[in-house]
Amino acid sequence: DADVTQTPRNRITKTGKRIMLECSQTKGHDRMYWYRQDPGLGLRLIYYSFDVKDINKGEISDGYSVSRQAQAKFSLSLESAIPNQTALYFCATSDSFGGVRETQYFGPGTRLLVL
């Protein structure tokens, strides 16, 4: 079984709808992240969480919200979806004890289309 899972894997929605993307991990990591990827651009950080009570905005948080329900679960919500939120969304985790070799582990991605 995959260590970082994302649901749904694909989603089509309409402008103005509220949707939630979910991420679960079995790696036991304390840190979790949400990114989006657009064609021709690198991944950009939306939100990150260093533990259940520590949630922070990334560089492109407008229009998004998150919830860290447990150490293993981190959800991303689009309160009112708009077409320019069409993108590939990735969840990632990392271990704060990794030190200088700390790296992030990524889920398979959720492809979102907003009509």
Partner 1 sequence: KQEVTQIPAALSVPEGENLVLNCSFTDSAIYNLQWFRQDPGKGLTSLLLIQSSQREQTSGRLNASLDKSSGRSTLYIAASQPGDSATYLCAVKSSGGYNKLIFGAGTRLAVHP
Find the shortest distance in angstroms from Cβ 70 to partner 1. Answer: 20
The separation between the first and the last C-alpha atoms of the chain, rounded to the nearest angstrom, is: 33
Show the tokens assigned to 34.
């949400």
Cα-Cα-Cα-Cα dihedral sign, residues 83, 35, 19, 10: positive
What length does the chain have?
A: 115
Residues that bind partner 1 (CB under 8 A): 4, 9, 31, 40-45, 48, 50, 56, 58, 90, 92, 94, 96, 100-109
Nearer to partner 1, 58 or 63 (CB): 58
Nearer to partner 1, 42 or 70 (CB): 42
Nearer to partner 1, 16 or 98 (CB): 98
